[in-house]
Amino acid sequence: MAKTVSKNILQILIILIFNNFLAQQAPEKLTKNTVNDTIPKQDTIVFKKEPLESVLQTKADYNRRDFQKKMIYLNKNAQVKYQDVQIDADYISIDEEKSLMYARGKQDSLGRYIEPAVITQAGKKYETDEFQYNTKTKKAIAFNARTEESEGVIVAEKTKKYNDSVFAMRRADYTTDDYFIKKKDTTADYFLRASNIKLIKTKNKSSIISGPIQMYIEQVPTPLIMPFAILPFSDKRSAGILIPSFGERQDVGFFLNGLGYYQPIGEHFDLKILADLYTKGSWNLRPEMNYVKKYRYSGNFSADIGTAVRGIKGLDDYGKTSTYRIAWRHTQDTKANPFLNFSASVDIVSTKFYNNTLNNNYILNQNVLNTQQNSTVTITKRFLRLPATITGTASYSQNFATGLSDLRLPQMNVAINQFYLFKSKTGTRTGLLENITVNTGLNLTNFVQTDEGELFTAAMWEKMQTGLKNNIALGTNTTIAKYFTFSLGANIDNALTTKTVRKYYDPITNKAVTATDKGVAGYSTFSTTASIQTTLYGQANFKKGAAIEAIRHMITPSIGFTYSPDFGGAGFGYYRNYYDVNGALTPYSIFEGGIVGTPSSGMVGALGFNIGNNVEMKVRSKKDSTGIKKIKIFESLNLSGNYNFAAKDHPFSIITINGQSSFFDNKLSLNTSLSLDPYKIIYLPGQDTGIRTEELGGFSVQGFNVQLSYPLSSELFGEKIDYSKKYQTKGEVRNENYYFDDDNYAHFDQAWTLNVNANYAYTKSYASRTPTRLASVGLDGSIKLTPFWNINASTHYDMVTKQLAYTRIGFARDQRSFTINFNWVPFGQYKVYDFFIGIKANILSDALKYKDRSFTQPNAPF
């Protein structure tokens, strides 16, 4: 026992002596400078800088520290926090001597990564298989790193971080596939692959800059290869190059369409400059500028300036045509100024622009079929206290068929708000006098019709006409015997113009000559009307239990008398006479062809009538909660005409009948019109022009028109099937449910629509024995083969010429992150097919797309 105690005491003494020795020798080993017994002259003591600038926090399920190698090992649910960096991984090692951290994701038994390591810095997360970080230099290297930026994600084989702003990536893929980003799928449906990518991050924005980059769809490489790409990730607008579409047109060759550059200008403007280039020498330049000021106005300006070259130089088919188009749209916010509004819709093109267009979009959207182009600039002024509205307009209308243009510059209209002529004595207006309303206004117009070559030349200003018109409309009404509405009205027109016409016979040329006289001239006309109207109801009831319970007929008859004097009399001076080439005395109006119109000739004392009808039917219906359903047989059926007591011949007018109705729950829309001539028309043998006799009873059809439209859809035929109850096996693709039968065939709603439009028009007059007929049927429909495949088509068939008119066939495929569209026009003057692939994400919607188009010359074999 004593020996044991002595032995323990000896061991303790040896340990104490050894520790005392180490304490004395440690400062010499750990520091290069020995500490003197006296304090040096410096008032501070310099220590060696620590390798870590901040506290290093670690945790893990298992951790181990190797003091000799100065290493820390963390296993299972490992986490390291250092400054603004947090690393979560399955395994982390820390080399204190080299200031290096290494992290690795979770692996399975075969060494495959099944969970990534996650690095979080400044709130931004990065996922990687392996990660190495230098705490001194702040540089890092990651393998198979996944970086999310804005609407997309980048997965790179190797990523090197130079600093917090610059990342270099090798063999990187970029995609905006939402399913891949949210990890609903392990493979992106498309991605852009580049050998080298640089990611630049700043405080407010980030961007990708890459070298050659190729598009892959379902991991299959496509021919879309860009020499470089710049993708800005920012809420602010960024400048950049716009990628063109490419294809071939038989008349002008292969092309690049839409090659350009986008440049934001300040806060309110941006500019795009696009170019269309063709291998046969054609070119087109398209500047486009948009502008907007919030709560004030917005608009855009665009132009097409180019030269179309067709054929081979030196041959007969060679042609070179310069074209242009200028367009401007401006819209003012209604909140900006309720009393002053300015708007513009300007579209001016050269006469042959659509026949020689180099902008392929005009062919696909059918603008090439335009026969007329209109432009308008309008400014409207309203007043707080004055009951008037002033509207100034400048308009320009081009007719491509005639080559003539109508220019109104300027045109001003002053409209006075409707007012009552007399005040009410009791507060409630009664009687004819207290209900008299007045509507009036002024209209000033400067008008000229000219061709493109004369526009804004002295010849155009010489032909311009100026006119001023004033209209005063008086009206009043009252109730008679409770059931009748009696109305009175008067209409006064006053007009002034700066030019009139004078006609005479020139014996030298043996022609009738129309000369223009300059000078102010005018006319005044008036007319009065009196009418009475009532409403009659009739109903036929059927026995109980019958399919038809009742038919209701509402009739709205009205009769009125109109009077206006003969303003063609010599006393007014509005009409004159001249002798034509046959020596016949012919009357004409000096205002003929003018912008203020021509005063009526011949006295009018006409008694007119109008009979309006509305017919509805009540039928039994199990689908309706009341058990009764209303069906409109005729929404309106109107019969109208008049008899002119003052007419010297043919006092009866043409009788017109107009009808409108809808059937099958208002799906089928039907509109009809019929014109009947009450007088007999005879045609002499060998003559095409008929003679309208004074004999009544002919009632020949002068015009007949039927318009029918019926939208069909899958919902109209049968009830919607509940596949979840009918089939037990269920599958899901992109949040769409598919149900499978016993034979493993998928079932889903195949929605379809088919709009049927038919039109028939018949026109005939006594001036021609042969009538004119127009008949066409149009079909416009779509069907969803699958929830993401859609086929659509439209066509029109002319039943008179027995030919198909404009026909278009197309299909669309909705992928997860991009769309595919194909459109084909197989017939007509312009034959075209168009193929398009476009990314849905906003950042790539304009920059990344593939288009292939082919156009053939008119009447060329397809």
Which of 296-300, 713-717, 738-742 is predicted with the least confidence, judged by mean pLDDT?
713-717
How many helices (H) and strands (E) in the chain? 6, 53
pLDDT over 50 (residue 637): yes
Residue ranges making up the domain that contains 724: 716-749
pLDDT at 819: 79
In a domain, 653, yes or no: no
pLDDT at 736: 63
pLDDT at 620: 81
In a domain, 105, yes or no: yes
171-222 pLDDT tens trace: 999 888 888 888 888 888 888 899 998 988 877 677 888 889 888 888 888 8
pLDDT at 27: 39
515-567 pLDDT tens trace: 988 889 999 999 999 999 999 999 988 887 788 888 999 999 999 999 999 99
In a domain, 70, yes or no: yes
Average pLDDT for residues 445-449, to the nearest whole number?
Answer: 90
Which 3 state secondary structure label does DSSP give 558? strand
Domain count, the chain: 2
Average pLDDT for residues 386-403, to the nearest whole number?
Answer: 88
Which of 314-323, 505-514, 596-605, 755-764 is predicted with the least confidence, judged by mean pLDDT?
314-323
pLDDT at 303: 92
- What CATH number did the domain enclosing 87 receive? 2.60.450.10
- Between 425 and 361, whose confidence is greater? 425
CA–CA gap between residue 812 and residue 819 (Å, rounded): 7
CA–CA gap between residue 857 and residue 862 (Å, rounded): 9
CA–CA gap between residue 195 and residue 156 (Å, rounded): 9
In a domain, 378, yes or no: no
Residue that finishes a domain, picked among 749, 770, 794:
749
CA dihedral over 66, 67, 68, 70, signed as positive or negative? positive
Question: What percentage of residues in the chain have a pLDDT greater than 70?
Answer: 85
pLDDT at 806: 74
* Contacts for 462 with CB less than 8 Å, ≥ 6 apart: none
212-256 pLDDT tens trace: 988 888 888 888 787 887 777 766 666 666 767 666 776 777 777
24-80 pLDDT tens trace: 443 333 333 433 444 344 444 444 445 556 678 888 999 898 888 889 999 999 999
Q: Grade residue 764 by pLDDT with cuts at 50, 70 and 90.
A: confident
In this structure, which amino acid lies at residue 453?
A: G
Secondary structure (H, E, C), 173-204: EEECCHHHHCCCCCCCCEEEEEEEEEEEECCC
pLDDT over 80 (residue 805): no
pLDDT at 832: 67
Which of 297-311, 328-342, 622-636 is predicted with the least confidence, judged by mean pLDDT?
622-636
Average pLDDT for residues 420-430, to the nearest whole number?
Answer: 85
In a domain, 140, yes or no: yes
Residue that finishes a domain, picked among 236, 262, 279:
236
pLDDT at 644: 93
pLDDT over 80 (residue 653): yes
pLDDT at 858: 36
CA dihedral over 838, 842, 848, 854, signed as positive or negative? positive
Strands (E) located in 266-371: 269-278, 283-293, 297-310, 319-332, 340-349
Burial class (CB in 10 A: 0-12, 13-18, 19+), 353: buried
**What does the mean pLDDT of the chain come to?**
82
Of 785, 754, 747, 603, nearest in space to 667 by CA: 754
Residue 669's H or E segment, with its range, is: strand 668-682
Residue that finishes a domain, picked among 207, 236, 265:
236
Which of 18-27, 355-364, 420-429, 740-749 is predicted with the least confidence, judged by mean pLDDT?
18-27
